[in-house]
């Protein structure tokens, strides 16, 4: 059995490095492989460690070859990256196909395309982390042959897989809704990473920030749709939006968020500057506004009899009305004077006693 490995016109070092191991080569040899031919593209990793690991297994590699289609035609099993062109070449040639998704790429549709192909049993789909397990257990014999060549079939399939419905309500599949949500999250992550570059220019940064907010709203609609279809309710546990550096995005009162360099744009930075609070001094007019007639003693006593105060309170009783008050006051004054005289005499005696103790007579004082 001949095995052909291709990464297309780009590079996929993780795939080549994973295959370049004794474990993978022994599994391929156990499944009947006699030749493993690798097209490694512009990758930095060059197969070496596995070349002599398995006796009886011929391992070759090259970067690019005009006879690439010849290798596809001669192969019994093709291990390919998830590029649409490479997948189409393998399916058109009706080859057993193992598609390895490059999870390090962002804002691409490799995962969606590979999942769609695997669902229809045109290929086996995995990642670099699951490659060894897929080589050990994948049932390549049960794969379906791709239909006869049709110029419109493959583009239509890509549109079906890649083109997200305009309205979330148009989707009736929970699995598809989850897939579209993941796609939107990848798009948001890519744009949040891009907007960290302050050198993009004001207009580009504003457009990027608008796109991020648009995707956030779109994600919310898909999360509502997922809940309607019986899936998890992601809206109940929404984490705050963060920049690529882990700093929380700035948010206005209306819910619009600013990310990365957008937070420093003219007119935006001022929105989030905290002004020092200076308490306003109350004017005399402000204070007088809240003073009621009680403050001046102008309440109408007739309104509340309990507020009536007798003249006695102010010492304004007419003495002629009660002559006994004069005698009472005089008696009180005499008592106070007598008490004061007694206290003075007592204090004087104490001072004389203290002076005597010191040997000083009161007369010499």
pTM above 0.85, yes or no: no
The pLDDT, as a whole number, for residue 246 is 45
User: What structural domains does the chain harbor?
Assistant: 2-162 (3.40.50.2000), 168-272 (1.10.287.660), 301-340 (no CATH)
Contacts 24+ apart (CB under 8 A), 133-141: 134/98, 135/24, 135/27, 135/28, 135/31, 135/98, 136/27, 138/98, 140/77, 140/96, 140/98
3-state secondary structure of 360: coil
**Which stretches does DSSP call E strand in 113-237?**
124-127
For residue 219, CA distances in Å to 79, 233, 259 come to 34, 12, 17
What are the b/e assignments for 205-239, b being 16+ CB within 10 Å? bbebbeebbebbebbbebbbbbbebeeeebeeeee
Residues 6+ apart with CB under 8 A from 103: 111, 127, 128
Query: Helix count (H) and strand count (E) of the chain?
Result: 11, 8
Spatial separation of the C-alpha atoms in residues 128 and 142, rounded to whole Å: 22
3-state secondary structure of 356: helix
User: How many other CB atoms are there within 10 angstroms of residue 84's CB atom?
Assistant: 17
Weakly modelled stretches of the chain, pLDDT under 50: 246
Spatial separation of the C-alpha atoms in residues 308 and 335, rounded to whole Å: 34
Q: What is the pLDDT of residues 240-266, one digit of tens each?
A: 655 555 455 666 656 788 888 888 888
**Cα distance between the two ends of the chain:** 136
Q: What is the pLDDT of residues 282-294, one digit of tens each?
A: 787 877 777 776 6
DSSP state, residue 264: G
């Amino acid at each position: 059995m001949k095995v052909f490995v291709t990464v297309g016109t780009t590079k996929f070092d993780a795939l080549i490095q994973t295959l370049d191991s004794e474990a993978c080569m022994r599994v391929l040899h156990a499944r009947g492989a006699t030749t493993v031919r690798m097209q490694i593209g512009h990758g930095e990793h060059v197969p070496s460690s596995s070349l002599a690991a398995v006796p009886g297994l011929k391992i070759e590699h090259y970067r690019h070859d005009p006879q690439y289609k010849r290798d596809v035609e001669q192969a019994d099993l093709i291990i390919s990256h998830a590029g649409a062109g490479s997948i189409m070449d393998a399916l058109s040639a009706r080859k057993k196909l193992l598609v390895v998704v490059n999870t390090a790429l962002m804002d691409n549709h490799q995962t969606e395309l590979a999942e769609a192909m695997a669902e229809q049993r045109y290929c086996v789909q995995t990642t670099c982390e699951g490659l060894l397990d897929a080589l050990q257990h994948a049932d390549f014999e049960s794969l379906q042959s791709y239909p006869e060549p049709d110029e419109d079939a493959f583009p239509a399939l890509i549109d079906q897989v890649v083109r997200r419905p305009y309205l979330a309500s148009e989707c009736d599949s929970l699995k598809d809704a989850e897939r579209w949500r993941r796609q939107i999250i990848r798009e948001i992550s890519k744009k949040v990473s891009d907007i960290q570059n302050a050198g993009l220019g004001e207009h580009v940064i504003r457009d990027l920030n608008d796109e991020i907010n648009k995707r956030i709203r779109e994600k919310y609609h898909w999360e509502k749709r997922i809940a309607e279809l019986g899936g998890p309710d992601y809206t109940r546990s929404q984490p705050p939006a963060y920049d690529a550096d882990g700093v929380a995005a700035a948010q206005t009162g209306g819910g619009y968020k600013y990310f990365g360099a957008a937070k420093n744009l003219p007119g935006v930075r001022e929105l989030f500057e905290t002004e020092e609070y200076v308490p306003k001094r109350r004017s005399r007019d402000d204070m007088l506004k809240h003073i009621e007639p009680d403050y001046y003693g102008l309440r109408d006593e007739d309104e509340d009899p309990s507020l009536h105060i007798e003249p006695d309170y102010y010492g304004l009783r007419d003495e002629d009305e009660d002559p006994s008050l004069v005698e009472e006051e005089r008696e009180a004054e005499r008592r106070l004077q007598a008490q004061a005289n007694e206290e003075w005499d007592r204090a004087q005696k104490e001072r004389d006693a203290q002076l005597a103790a010191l040997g000083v007579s009161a007369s010499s004082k």
